[in-house]
Structure formats: C-alpha cells, structure tokens
Amino acid sequence: MRWTYFVVLSLLSPGLAKPTSPYHSNAAWDFIATHNKIERAAEPTKSAVSNYALRGRTLDSSALGVDTVKQCAGYLDDNERNKHLFYWFFESRNDPSKDPLILWLQGGPGCSGMSGLFFENGPAKIGENLTIVRNPDSWNNKANVLYIDPPVNTGFSHGDAVNTTLAASKDIYALLSLFFQQFPQYAKLDFHITGESYAGHYIPTDAAEILSHADSSINLKSIMIGNGYVDPYHQVPQYPNMACGRGGLPAIFKETTCETMRHAVPKCQQMIQQCYNHHNTSRCIKTSQDCTAVGGPCERNPYDMRKQCVGDLTNMCYQGVEYVTQFLNKPEVMAALGVEVKSWTSCSDSMDKAFHAAGDDIQPVYRHVETVLEKGVPVLIYAGDVDYILNWLGQRAWTNALQWSVHEAFNWAQTRNLTIDSSNSTQAYGTLKHAKGLAFARIFKAGHLVPMDQPKPILDLVSRWVGGEFQK
C-alpha cells in the first residue's frame, strides 16, 4: 500500500504481492458441513448460510510442530459465488471444554490472520532458520483460538473477491455458524472477536452482523480492538499531536511541518463528515487522497516510532515477517494444511486497492460499536502507545466520542494502572478506564503490534477481560 492514498490506509496493508492463482489440493477432508437440514426445513425464508459449506481436517500436530493441542484447518466455501475462506483452529492448552473461544482477525484490508498467528499471539513463532519456537505467551494458553484469512483472496483464501467490510462480514457469519454447528462443544463456550488495525472495521461490523440474526447460536460475549482503524474523523486529527511531541514521545518533525499538518486537519475532517453523511464512493475516495497531508512525511517505522524501518513496508518493517512467509510457503506445510493456493503472502495489495476503490476505508463503523454496546455486548479498546499509524491518542479520541445511552459514565470514569507481577515485584504495564461495558487501555512501550511488543501484559489484559473483569 502506498502513502499517496491516505496516511492510514497507506501503511495498514503494505504487502505488494499479486493475487495468488488457486489450485485444488489433494487434501482429504474429515468433514464437509452444510446448513443443518432440520433447521432449513423449519425456516420460512432462505438462511444466511444456505449457500455455504465448511470443509475441515484434523491436523497432525506432531508433523507440523506448531503446538501439541488439537487443531483443525480448512475452508468455508460459497460455491455459488466462488469464495473459499481459510481458517486454522487451535484448542486451548488449558481446558478446551471450558475456556472461551477467541476469533482473531488481522488488518489490511487483505492481511492474513496467519501473520498474527506466527508473528504475534499464536502458539509458535518462526525463527531465523525457519525453526519453530514455542510461544509461552500464546493466547491459546487459556483460550481456544480461531485464525482466519478474510476477505477472500487474502493469505490462503481464494476466489472471487469482495470489496467491502459489510460483504466480508456475511462470510464471517457463515463460517462461524457452520463451525459451531460442526463442533457443538465449542458453541456453548463464551465467544469473543478480536484483532488489530483494519480489523477495527471488521470486528464491529461482524459483531453487528451476528447480533442482527435473532436466531443465531453464536454466543458473542465481547469484542476487543487493538490499535484499530474505526473512526477517521476523530483519529486523523491526532497525527500532528502524536508526531509533534504530545503523545508521550519526542517530536519527530520540525515545527513548520507540524503546523502544515495541523492546518490540513479541518478540511480533512469536513470531507470525512461528508463521506459519513452521504456514502458517496467517489467522494470517499477523494477524501482518502486529500487527507494525506495530515499524516506528514513519516520516515520512521510507522508501527513503532522509537525505531527505524528494517527492510521496507512490504514486511511491515520487521524481518520476522519474511521468516513467516518462508515457513508458510514450505511445500510440506502447505500440504499438511490442505491449502489451495500456490503461495502465501502476508498482505494482498489487490485487496487493499479493491476496498479503497469502494470507499470502504472512510465509513462510520464506529456506529456499529455503539450498536454493540447498546445491545449489552462489552467492548475493549487497547492501544500500544508508541504506534504512529493508529496511535493511542486517536484511539482515545474516538472512544471518548462514542454516543450511547450511558456514555457519560465512561467519560467520567477514573483511569487506573494495569499491573502484572514480575520478578517479585508489581509493575505497571498500562492504564485503563472502564464503565458500563466499555473499556479503554493504553499499553506502555507497545507499537501497532501489541502482542509482539508486550506479549505478557496483553495476555494478562485479554485473559482478565474474557474472564469478565473490566466489563462492567
């Protein structure tokens, strides 16, 4: 993705790979689940999942070496529309029959959930020599975790692409519905949706889609968004503040540059508001282009302001992304997973461009967050405080601006320290305020990829959150 589009979208999905050409694997599937026939007969109208099927296979954990827990992988198929969405599921290392189930969504648009699996919060990391290194801070320590590659043509997924978050949410709903139908032992568990970056668009929309189905069996208990792209109207004005010494780090630009950035804010906000109000695709595209000046000429790692970029944006400035790419493209790994593409890339430039061309990036998805809160589903927003591209000041701004029936209680809530025991002492790793189902956490010394930078603290926060803490 290029900076010339829009400061946010220019860096959320940096992969430059072309779409991969699909092929049919010779994988043997252990199950192919379709919409329950008994339920179909009782429905007066066509089900939202009638056209879908879910394929899966139990993985040989010893052969892959990623983790020893029970795993399965496969595809959601929409054969009428030629869409095939890849997923990989890991049971909890603790008590899979009682621990919650977490769905992880990557950003982009068009970045693979497998990046998060191996680079952030999954059971294993990939070392320099493509060695598999057990992750002691994996999120499946105390939760079952489902990783997927949405939208279609992302990662191992393939088919005829969608180009909006709303369209992609229909596929997510179908995958979850069939997954829980196939595995009823997981359907009874508490279910949480989380992710980062452009998943700030996906997560609220997916939650709203689930809640729109009165007969859904999906036991949605909360959503969690990390350094998310949710509300550019309130997030974009914080770039000058974050870059110019008002976000807790020294200024990275001269004052003349800071003034230029600040002067660009009012026009940018006006255009964003017009896009919100009228949903005109061409207007939204122009807004993305014209708001570029607000972000400034960032020459550091946009995901961690403390650092310079290692390599380039195609690997998100982190060499480890290349190790993950090499590992997932090993023929034996692809064969074990039963994937149906010839190669894997961390992010798809074509999907990024498609969503941008549809004006998806300038949509008021924060309204879905308000809907979710009104329906009694708790929301956690967490933000690494050295990220630039979706910085913590912007996260705080849009969170404080939310309007729902009890928003004043949140705005008046006191901020407290988040602490964790370490080496016979208690250390603060962030701050948090919460009230009436909404929580906002600032994570110290973490960039855009919080689970990579601060694995133990974010695991502590997530574990406490899904356990019910901070949700009131």
Show which residues are catalytic. Answer: 197, 387, 448
Q: List, in order, residues 6 or more apart from 33 with CB less than 8 Å away.
A: 53, 54, 55, 56, 178, 181, 182
Q: Which residue has the tokens 């990829």?
A: 449
Give CA separation, 182 vs 32, 34, 38, 185, in Å. 9, 9, 14, 9
Number of other residues whose CB lies within 10 A of the CB of residue 337? 22
Spatial separation of the C-alpha atoms in residues 310 and 14, rounded to whole Å: 14
Nearest Cα to Cα of residue 15 among 87, 115, 88:
115
* Degrees to nearest 5, angle at CA 439 with 435 and 443: 140
3-state secondary structure of 435: strand
* Degrees to nearest 5, angle at CA 372 with 236 and 411: 60
Spatial separation of the C-alpha atoms in residues 448 and 388, rounded to whole Å: 8
Spatial separation of the C-alpha atoms in residues 382 and 227, rounded to whole Å: 6
Contact status, residue 391 vs residue 247, Cβ threshold 8 Å = yes
